[in-house]
Structure 1
Amino acid sequence: MAAALIQAVDDRQPHLLRLPVQQGSASALEEVRYALGSRHPRAGTVVLEAGRWHLRLPELRQLQELLAPLQLDLIRVAGDHPETLVAAAALGLEIDLAVPQPPSPAGAAVAGDLLVHRGTLRSGDHLQAEGSVLLLGDVNPGARISAAGNVLVWGRLRGIAHAGVAGDRNARIVALQLRPLQLRIADMVARGPEGLPPPGLAEQALLVDGEIRIDPAAPDFSG
């Protein structure tokens, strides 16, 4: 099944750009070019249904540039791949879960094994996830965030974060500003760095040779 552009019935609604359910050899950009073809959709806004596609920040930016000459403005990305949602948020786009479920804690929703929470965690709060967790907000001092998988924070991490709580030593912790009181990955513990992060880069903590190491991370949180 190929990508499809479903035009809105009126100017008040966005067009829907739907990527194929199964990701084949063609890139997302190629799929969108095919969907547009020789069509001349009415100018307006666009919602991208990405499904399980893993789209990094540069790819989403290329999609925006492809749509712009047609006076189409990408405003929202729906999908269930955590790094796609984070990359979309990095570009200032709205994000939606592809398959919304009844909310978990207040402000949170689940898609597959990803828990997405919108809002800041304040002192005394503890957000837990059975899979990976994506927080669109800050983790203030005195707050905790933990997950069996990865911990992704689109904001400042200044509380306590624990990734791989069930023992996954490949889990990682990523944040725009990684300055926690304490970091845990599986059974390893470390304190956060004190200096400011490199400008324009997120940071990630991961286990390297049995120790927690903090490195710059591209804004798409890939790698």
Structure 2
Amino acid sequence: MQAVLISDSSGLGVHVLRLPEPQEAGADDVAALVQGALTSAALLGSSPLRGAVRLEAGARRLSLTPLRELREGLANQQLELVQLTSSHPHTHVAAAALGIDSRWPHADDPNGGHGGDGDPAVELVVHQGTLRSGDHLQVAGTVLLLGDVNPGARISAGGHVLVWGRLRGIAHAGCHGDSTARIVALQLRPLQLRIATAVARGPEGVPPQGLAEEARIVNGAIQIDPAQPSWPLSG
């Protein structure tokens, strides 16, 4: 299947780039799909498309590098990627890191199925910005914070707590009783950790260089280890 670039017909000035659903993981090159869509649009149109683009990625997983390359490929054609819709949580994480507005598809959207992982709108909340002393961020599902959690700040989630930065405040994962939840941070030096009903103090000493850490419950107690290569993003 091919990607399709649909010119704006609503008067809003936003074109739609629709990616095909992946047949199997890693089976196709997203950059090549986009280039094919641009070529087809150029052949069909009387003039080149210009302006803003909304990407409909469906259940396709786009990590940081492919999404950045996709945006740069569009920019080379004077097209600006301003928004995407996706039902894959990893794609939302990459979009947030690049500052791209990302949204979950509507339940009645035939092009944006969930891909069998439950309701992602409940599972993952992406928050951009540092939590400062006195702030408390609490979500029903998993939370990914792009920033730091300073001393005196708290972050709580019914699922996992993921901090793309320094965690130095208080973190509570599985706050509704999920003992399988984890706390992951690029620098894990909190004042206090809580997972479900288990409580622990943060580790002392200098954190390891270039190594993210995760806290999870092992044999009834919170244990801190090097983080797994793939962070948990859904239950």
TM-score by length of 1: 0.69
Deviations 1:13-57 (A, max 9, x none): 34322334x543354716545544532252444332334433222
Q: Which has the larger radius of gyration?
A: 2
Are 1:180 and 2:182 matched, yes or no? no
CA distance in 1, matches of 2:83, 2:156: 27
Which shifted more, 175-184 or 140-149? 175-184
Is 1:141 matched with 2:148?
A: no
Aligned partners of 2:101, 2:203: CA distance in 1, in Å?
A: 29
**SS of alignment partner, residue 41 of structure 2:** coil
Cα RMSD of the aligned pairs, angstroms, is 3.8
Q: Does the residue aligned with 1:175 lie in a helix, a strand or coil?
A: strand
Change (3 A) 1:61 1:96: closer
Map 1:1-223; keep pairs closer than 5 Å: 3-8=3-8, 13-20=13-20, 23-25=22-24, 26-27=27-28, 29=30, 31-33=33-35, 35-40=37-42, 41-90=48-97, 92-99=98-105, 111-188=121-198, 189-192=200-203, 194-195=205-206, 198-199=209-210, 203-207=212-216, 209-210=218-219, 211-215=222-226, 221=231
CA distance in 2, matches of 1:12, 1:194: 54
Contact 1:204 1:215 in 2 (8 A): yes
* CA pair 35-61 structure 1, distance change in 2 beyond 3 A: same
Distance 2:202 2:215 in 1: 13
How far did residue 132 of structure 1 move? Answer: 0.9
**CA 1:35 to 1:212, structure 2 compared with 1: closer, same or farther past 3 Å?**
farther
Q: Is the 8 A contact 1:149 1:163 kept in 2?
A: yes
Distance 1:16-1:192 versus aligned 2 partners, 3 A rule: farther
Contact kept? 1:6, 1:17, Cα under 8 Å: yes
Which secondary structure does the structure 2 equivalent of 1:38 belong to? Answer: helix
Q: Scaled by the length of structure 2, what TM-score is found?
A: 0.66
1:179 to 1:5, Cα distance in 2 relative to 1, 3 A: farther
Q: Distance in 2 between matches of 1:193 and 1:82?
A: 32
Identity %: 50
Secondary structure of the 2:16 match is strand
Amino acid at match of 1:139: V
Aligned residues: 209
CA deviations over 1:91-114 (Å, ceiling 9, x no partner): x232332258xxxxxxxxx92332
Q: Counterparts of 1:32 and 1:184 in 2: how far apart (Å)?
A: 44
TM-superposed CA distance for 1:138, in Å, is 3.2
1:111 and 1:28 map into 2 onto residues whose CA distance is: 27
Give 1:159 shift. Answer: 1.0
